[in-house]
A and B are shown apart, each in its own frame.
Chain A
Amino acid sequence: MLPYMIRRLALAVPLLLAVSLVSFVIMQSVPGGPLAIYRNNPNVRAEDLARLEEKLGLNRPLPVQYGIWLRNFVTGDWGQSLASGRPVTEMIGERLLNTFYLMGTAFLLTLLLAIPIGVLSAMKQYSLFDYLATLFSFLGFSVPIFWLGLMAIIVFAVELGWFPAGGMRTIGLPFSLTDRLRYLVLPVSLMAFHSAGQYSRYVRSSMLEVIQQDYITTARAKGLAERIVVLRHALRNALIPLITVVALDLPALFSGTLLVETVFAWPGMGRLFWRSALRFDYPVLMGIIIVTALLVILFNLLADVLYALVDPRVRLVAKGAF
Chain B
Amino acid sequence: MGRKDVLLTMLVAVLFVVSACAAPAQPGAAPEAAEAGEAGGGAMEAQPASAPLIVAMYQEPESLNPYLSVQTVTNVVATAVLEGLLSIGPDGEFIPVLATEVPSVANGGLSEDGLTVTYRLREGVLWADGKPFTSADVKFTWEAIMDDRNAVVSRAGYDQIESIETPDDYTVVVKFRELYAPALTLFEYILPAHGFDGDKDMTGAAFNRTPFGTGPFVVKEWTSGESIVLEANPNAWRPPKVDRLIFRITPSREASVLLLKSGEAEVVWDLIEASIPELQDNPDIALWSTPSSRVEYLGLNLAQRGDPADPDQPHPILGDIRVRQAISLAIDRNVLVDELLYGMSTVATSAIGMGWAADPTIAVAPTDPDQARALLEEAGWMDTDGDGIREKDGQRLSLEITTTSGNKLRELSEQVIQQQLAEVGIELVINNVPSSTLFGSWASGGVLQRGNFDIAMDTWGPDIDPDGFVSILFHSSAIPSEAGGGWNFFRLRDPEIDAAIEEARSTLDIETRKKAYAKLARLVNESYAYIPLYNRLLLHGFKGDVTGWTPNPWEELTWDVAQWEHRP
Interface positions of A (Cβ within 8 A of B): 30-33, 35-49, 51-52, 55-56, 80-81, 83-86, 91, 94-95, 97-98, 100-101, 104-105, 107-108, 111, 150, 153-154, 157-158, 161, 164-169, 171-172, 174-175, 177, 180, 232, 236, 253, 261-263, 265, 267-268, 271-272, 275, 278-280, 306, 309-310, 312
Contacts and interface: CB of A to CB of B under 8 A. Distances in A.
A146 B203 CA distance: 39
B442 to A, nearest CB: 10
A107 to B, nearest CB: 6
Given A39-B446, A104-B21, A309-B3, A262 B255 contact: yes
B444 A101 contact: no
A276 to B, nearest CB: 11
Nearest to A279: B62
B136 interface: no
Contacts of B435: 36
Contacts of B546: none
A171 B25 contact: no
A108 B469 contact: no
Nearest to A262: B251
B22 A104 contact: yes
A267 B278 CA distance: 27
B189 to A, nearest CB: 14
Contacts, number: 224
Nearest to B202: A85
B252 interface: yes
Interface stretch (B260-268, B343-351, B355-363, B382-390): B260-268
5 contacts: A39-B487, A45-B472, A158-B258, A165-B262, A171-B246
Contacts of A174: 32-33, 36-37, 43-44
Max chain B Cβ within 10 angstroms of own Cβ: one of A180, A261, A267: A267
Contact of A40 (B37, B246, B439): B439
Contacts of A253: 18
Nearest to B470: A42
B395 interface: no
B246 A83 contact: no
Given A44-B154, A85-B208, A262-B251, A166 B60 contact: no
Contacts of B258: 150, 153-154, 157-158, 165-166
B7 A310 contact: yes
A108 B54 CA distance: 33
Contacts of A169: 30
B335 interface: no
Contacts of A309: 3, 6-7, 10
A2 B223 CA distance: 42
Contact of B224 (A91, A172, A232, A278): A91
Contacts of B254: 150
Majority SS at the chain B contact face: mixed
Contacts of B32: 174-175
B441 A36 contact: yes
B21 A48 contact: no
Max chain A Cβ within 10 angstroms of own Cβ: one of B155, B262, B485: B262
Contact of A31 (B26, B30, B60, B437): B437
B244 interface: yes
B77 to A, nearest CB: 13
B436 A30 contact: yes
A169 B261 CA distance: 18
Given A33-B444, A154-B258, A172-B244, A42 B30 contact: no
Contact of A232 (B4, B249, B250, B487): B4
Nearest to B151: A55
**8 closest cross-chain pairs (CB), A and B:** A32-B436, A267-B225, A175-B33, A174-B36, A42-B468, A31-B440, A262-B251, A83-B62
A164 B264 contact: yes
Contact of A262 (B155, B252, B485): B252
Interface of B: 3-4, 6-7, 10, 15, 18-19, 21-22, 25-30, 32-33, 36-37, 43-44, 52, 54, 60, 62-63, 68-71, 148, 151, 153-156, 159, 203-204, 208-209, 223-227, 229, 244, 246, 248-252, 254-255, 258-259, 261-264, 434-437, 439-441, 444-446, 458, 460, 463, 468-469, 471-473, 484-487
Given A46-B484, A171-B54, 12 more contacts: A36-B435, A41-B154, A43-B463, A48-B156, A83-B62, A84-B69, A167-B226, A172-B246, A262-B255, A265-B251, A271-B225, A279-B62
B151 A56 contact: yes
B487 A40 contact: yes
Contacts of A157: 258, 262, 264
A49 to B, nearest CB: 8
Contacts of B155: 47-48, 51
B469 A42 contact: yes
A101 B25 contact: yes
A166 B62 contact: no
B225 A268 contact: yes
A177 B26 contact: yes
A83 B52 CA distance: 30
Contact of B250 (A35, A104, A265): A265
A161 B4 CA distance: 47
A157 B30 CA distance: 24
A86 B6 CA distance: 44
A267 B226 contact: yes
A33 B436 contact: yes
A46 B36 CA distance: 49
A40 B25 contact: no
